[in-house]
Amino acid sequence: MHPMLNIAIRAARSAGDFIARSFESDVDIKAEKKGDNDYVTKIDREAEQIIINKIKQSYPEHSFVGEESGITEGSEDFKWVIDPIDGTTNFVMGVPHFCVSIALFYKGKLDQAVVFDPIRSELFTASKGKGAQMNNYRLRVNQSKELTGTLLGSGFPYKKKENSVEAIERFGKVYEKCGDIRCSGSAALDMAYVAAGRLDGYWEKGIKPWDIAAGELLVKEAGGLVTDFAGGHDHLKKEEAVAGNPKIVQSLVKILK
Ligand code: LIP
């Protein structure tokens, strides 16, 4: 195993255990509003520090981008992109569906990825060119050839309600063509589920790089594709993503572009 993946797994497990203990206890998580329908808790912040400190112990010179702590300067060659709790609204509301998401970019390219669901103890990992796994089982995306009968993941821009009309219109168009749609509240777990073949595809607008970076490498190393709504590769910049096997991505892009 790549030593940096090993460190990321240890950081994800430490933070994940802390998050799960907080979730299952009646500790005051001190939820605050960051914006409309957008929350942060002291658990998000403390978990992010656990992750950064753990990685820094081995790689003090690396740089970090965290959802809660922003940018930590360091070597541009090694950049860690971290979401300590993806699915914070679920966490705050007591819905047991959230995860730790950690991605490493080496010279600007995705290199290592970890998505850890501390409630189900499901550890999704990927190394560039080495495939994707969940709890040591190799992952492959589904080979569905068309949208008919598929199960897809998505989400609504609940932090930017002004984009609702567009999102509802897209949702309706996709719904007409597919089997059914799940809105789980965690983009990182949705993409991990695409990599694991639990979902045939996923799309969403209004998601941040820390929500989808690790998920992107999982999907790609499981034989899938991740693009923006136009089928291009500006998904991180455009804050929109489509994921699935190449045929499903192509069918979704036809509707979404
Ligand atoms: C969440 C995403 C989810 C999306 C939410 C939010 P957070 O991330 O995982 O898919 O619908 O708007 O972005 O805020 O829990 O890290």
Q: In sequence order, what DSSP letters do the residues of the chain get, joined into one string? A: --HHHHHHHHHHHHHHHHHHHHHHS------EEEETTEEE-HHHHHHHHHHHHHHHHH-TTEEEEETTTEEE--EEEEEEEEEEEETHHHHHHT-S--EEEEEEEETTEEEEEEEEETTTTEEEEEETTTEEEETTEE-------SSTT-EEE----TT-GGGHHHHHHHHHHHHHHSSEEE--S-HHHHHHHHHTTSSSEEEEES--HHHHHHHHHHHHHTT-EEE-TTSSS-HHHHTEEEEESHHHHHHHHHHH-
Is-contact 217 246, C-beta < 8 A? no
- Partnered with residue 126 across adjacent β-strands are 113, 132
| All structural domains of the chain | 3-138 (3.30.540.10), 151-256 (3.40.190.80)
Whose alpha carbon is nearest atom 5 of ligand 1?
A: 185
Distance of CA 180 to the CA centre of its chain: 21
* Per-residue model confidence (pLDDT) at position 30: 86
The pLDDT of residue 244:
98
pLDDT of residue 232: 98
d(CA 28, ligand 1 centre) in Å: 22
> Measuring from atom 13 of ligand 1, which residue has the nearest CA?
207
pTM of the model as a whole: 0.97
pLDDT at 50: 98
Ligand 1 centroid to Cα of residue 206, in Å, is 8
CB distance 155 to ligand 1 below 6 Å: yes
With a 6 A CB cut-off, is 99 part of the ligand 1 pocket?
no
CA of 192 to the centre of ligand 1 (A): 14
pLDDT for position 191: 98
pLDDT of residue 46: 97
Token readout for 117 is 């669901």
Nearest atom, ligand 1, residue 39 CA: 14
User: For residue 207, what are its two tokens?
Assistant: 């998601």
Residues of the chain with pLDDT under 70: none
Sort residue 250 into left (φ over 0), alpha (ψ -120 to 50) or beta.
alpha
Q: How many A from CA of 189 to the centre of ligand 1? A: 10
Backbone angles phi, psi at 133, to 5 degrees: -140, 160
